[in-house]
Amino acid sequence: MKTLPVLLAAALWYGGCAVAVAGDATPAPAPAIPSLSPDLLNNPLVRGILDALGGMLQTTNGPTAAGRVTYFKQYDLQLETGPRVYRDVHLHPGTVINPRGTTLTKGMLVVINGTPQHDGSLNADSITVH
């Protein structure tokens, strides 16, 4: 479901590049990096749109998740994979935490490999602390 906007954006970008290449042989000047004013960024409507777009581009349903631990207790963990994008992770006896013996705490940066579940959560097989 999230791949359609990405494919559409890629097609539009590729089509624009093809027209630019075919139209003129001289290199175009480097475009300025767009920026938004702080007042505009603090607007709740604009912030909501940017957060929604960021959430659409997150890949949080695969067998790997990377991010910051926001909650950990016994066999339950929550990971922030992007701004305001979270994924639940379930540990089990035998989940390997590298470096071995590390106790997970809130704020740690981790990469988790495991089995994705139908509800979007991840059953962790290994967790690597960075």
pLDDT at 48: 72
pLDDT for residue 5: 58
CATH number of the domain at 64-129, please?
2.40.50.140
Look up the pTM and report it: 0.56
- Say if CB 60 and CB 120 are below 8 A apart: yes
Every domain of the chain and the residues it spans: 3-57, 64-129
Residues of the chain falling short of pLDDT 50: 1, 20
pLDDT of residue 46: 73
List of residues 6+ apart from 41 with CB closer than 8 A: 47, 50
Q: Cα–Cα distance between 99 and 119 in angstroms, integer? A: 29
What percent of the chain lies above the pLDDT cut of 70? 61
